[in-house]
Amino acid sequence: MKFAVNYSTPLKELIEQNEVKVDLLKCPEWDGLIQAARPWGSVYIHFDISLGNNRVDSLDFDLIRRLLDTTDTPYLNTHLANRLGVDSASELLATWKEDLDFLRGKLPGVRIIAENLPCHEFLPQLKLAADPDLISEMIKECDLGLLLDLSHAQISAALLDMDFKKYINRLPLHRLSELHITGIREYNGYLTDHFELQPHDKAVVEWAAEQIRSGAWQEPEIVAFEYGGVGDVFCWRTERDALKLQVPLLYEIFHSPS
């Protein structure tokens, strides 16, 4: 099990100064950022690929193949999404499978994993895509790995009026390939992820780690702290002090013996 963190300039500085340790640096499919990250550790790619929106035919497959071949990326990640107008589980499942078949045709032999997305009131089409039973059906029937995003699961469970642990336990945890961790807090009136860990997040992380140690969940290949980054989405919420405090904490949690 390897521990990864979103690559950012503050993280790079902490690694350079031997303040923190990571096993992998998580990057989007941006060549410039990947080159900046390489001197500071092994890089793996989190691709911006969604199933369910009929856009897989527009992907740059030459780029995807090259990055799979030249980085330490063990599989291709996808996101289980939806588009406006798809209101039935059977139609969404069929669309997911159609998009997946297209990917597999373009990338034969590549392992593929699927991530649960959060549903929000302002993205009503994702409520169906966040159904844990539909996610489980897709992953089991199509022989996919599960990328469990803990924060996404908590946000979805809140909107669906479910206990988040019960929500997560309806997913195929025996297929867990990757685990994502972030802090959650209210922002502009909505639960929002990709913040530093809040006090309640630490308890969730400890619970997830215990599920892995006990064997209740399959041990994932990668545990990623999705805090920090570059660009407009992430740089404003990338605090050096938070990374300095929380990266070693998480590294220890997920490298401690069972």
What digits encode the pLDDT tens for the residues 66-103? Answer: 999 999 999 999 999 999 999 999 999 999 999 999 99
Domain that holds residue 219: 2-255
| In the predicted structure, residue 193 carries a pLDDT above the cut 90 | no
Percent of the chain residues past pLDDT 90, beyond the cut: 86
pLDDT of residue 257: 58
Domain count, the chain: 1
Burial of 73 (0-12, 13-18, 19+ CB in 10 A): buried
Q: Residue range 160-182: average pLDDT?
A: 97
Residue 37 phi, psi dihedral angles, 5° rounding: -80, -30
| In the predicted structure, residue 9 carries a pLDDT above the cut 60 | yes
Burial of 158 (0-12, 13-18, 19+ CB in 10 A): middle
Window from 134-148, 174-188, 239-253 with minimum mean pLDDT: 174-188
DSSP state of 20: -
The overall average pLDDT reported for the chain is: 94
pLDDT of residue 258: 53
Q: Greater confidence, 184 or 192?
A: 184
d(CA 4, CA 21): 9
Domain at 171, CATH number: 3.20.20.150
236: confidence class by pLDDT, cuts 50, 70, 90: low
Print the SS3 string covering 120-146.
Answer: ECCECHHHHHCCHHHHHHHHHHCCCEE
pLDDT of residue 237: 73
